[in-house]
Amino acid sequence: MKIAFHTLGCKVNLYETEVMRELAVQAGFSVVPFDTEADIYVVNTCTVTNMADRKSRSYLRRPRKLNPDALIVACGCYAQVAGESLLSEGVSDIVVGADEKQDLLRILEDYFDKGIRRPVRDVSLRAPYAPMRLSEPETRTRADIKVQDGCNQFCSYCIIPYARGRIRSRECGDVLREITELSEKGVQEFVLTGIHLSSYGRDFPDAEGDEFLKLVRAVSGIPGVKRIRFGSLEPRIVTEGFARSLSDIPKICPHFHLSLQSGSAETLRRMNRHYGPDEYRKSCEILRKYFDEPALTTDVIVGFPGETEQEFEESRRFVEEIGFYELHVFKYSRRKGTVADRMPSQVPEELKTQRSDLLLQLSEKMSESYRMKKCGTEAEVLTEQPGTFQGKPAFFGYTREYIRTAILGDCGGNRIVSGTLRPSPEPGLMLLIPNGPSAS
């Protein structure tokens, strides 16, 4: 049978889809592109915003045009919170919860052999970490590695704790086995990711408080690992000791995504974010103390309920003051069942759009400023894809700071090339001038 997959949302979803795809291949399915005819279509959904919900529904409806008799499977976060409506409205034939993706083949077997449609598991119940492991990544350059699931933060705007459940961490030994196997197959860069990565290990019975650092140190000890990155981190995890310990590990890339959401203290309080602008600023200062011009990226929500013009301006000024490399801007999206959905003073959509546009313009300015600071400096680029640059053959990859870079010529893929960064006429891109024969 032919099976097709499509992923919406975060790096955790991307990882989980890769594992499901691999399991399908091992079971004898033929994996085909999502926009072609298949017998089964699996959409790994997202529900972080209303837009994500709409996209999830849209992708679930598309396969009917390609094959009206196909089986449509909705899995993941949106399937977890809206599974009953997806089934009753005929949008999907099967729903697979956020914590059940590793059981996809068994769920399909139950449906085909017994006609069973199981409801999604209640993620509010305490459960162990659901085991998933990747052995054949789609790319041989970089691999996302899921090490944690769930969230206990309950930010007032966020539906994810209800879609993913409480925090659950993956045993360190299992993580190391997966990364070791992948590194032996040529993967050089690993991104440790989770729903709330900063909570890694807090649910272990013998947790001592530094489980995440222990994991990072252990991963860095694997010979084939050349680079280590992280998914989103909470600013409160960044202490002097934490940053000092990371800086002692040469394989750590100086590229950190610290969730912000707002630069206004009052807005952060209503969001239930558990920190203020001063604490966030201190975290950035600590990272810049121990790393040379690290690339700091973040998320910002505009138009949160009650956000006044003054609060937005405080947030805009704070973002500009920090000087991020990249800014991911989201317009506040009402999520039924959250505290923020019931808050008064909901901000009109047109005002959210105006504020979003202002921050997106600022983001472009800050990104360009950061890249220009790197002009003339030495860098290492891990090559990923061949292509052309202004009509000439080139390879494209990323620096340790995650600056997209082009290298003219055929230097080969999945190689670390050293050289000097130069500006490029293409926006968002830099050039690397290699230091002679410098591939590793």
93: which DSSP letter? Answer: S
What is the spatial distance between Cα 275 and Cα 248, in angstroms, rounded to a whole number?
Answer: 27
* Whether 401 contacts 325, CB under 8 Å: yes
What is the spatial distance between Cα 14 and Cα 32, in angstroms, rounded to a whole number?
Answer: 17
- Domain edges within the chain: 2-114, 142-373, 378-439
The token pair at 27 is 């079971």
Helix 240-247 vs helix 211-220: crossing angle, to nearest 10: 10
pLDDT confidence of residue 118 = 81
What is the spatial distance between Cα 382 and Cα 422, in angstroms, rounded to a whole number?
Answer: 16
pLDDT confidence of residue 45 = 97
Helices (H), 27-131: 50-61, 63-66, 77-88, 104-114
Q: Cβ–Cβ contacts within 10 Å for residue 416, how many?
A: 17
Tell me which residue of 68, 63, 61, 64 sits closest to 34, measured CA to CA: 63
Domain 142-373, CATH: 3.80.30.20
Q: Cβ–Cβ contacts within 10 Å for residue 169, how many?
A: 24
What is the spatial distance between Cα 423 and Cα 403, in angstroms, rounded to a whole number?
Answer: 12
* 81 phi and psi angles, rounded to 5 deg: -95, -15
Tell me which residue of 397, 387, 30 sits closest to 188, measured CA to CA: 397
Residues pairing with 168 in the sheet: 149
Q: Which amino acid is at 364?
A: E
pLDDT confidence of residue 439 = 44
pLDDT confidence of residue 174 = 97
Q: Which helix (H) or strand (E) holds 19?
A: helix 11-26
Residues pairing with 396 in the sheet: 385, 406
pLDDT confidence of residue 437 = 57
Which DSSP string corresponds to 115-154? ---PPPP-TTS--PPPP---SS-S-SSEEEEEEEE-----
Tell me which residue of 97, 104, 101, 62 sits closest to 83, measured CA to CA: 97
Look up the CATH superfamily of 2-114.
Answer: Methylthiotransferase, N-terminal domain (3.40.50.12160)
Mean pLDDT by runs of 10 across the 440 residues of the chain is 97 96 96 97 96 96 95 96 94 94 95 87 85 86 96 96 95 97 96 97 92 98 97 96 98 98 98 97 98 98 98 98 97 95 97 98 97 97 95 96 96 95 96 74
The token pair at 369 is 């400023």
* Angle at CA of residue 161, ends 160 and 164, nearest 5°: 75
Tell me which residue of 145, 186, 136, 135 sits closest to 440, measured CA to CA: 186
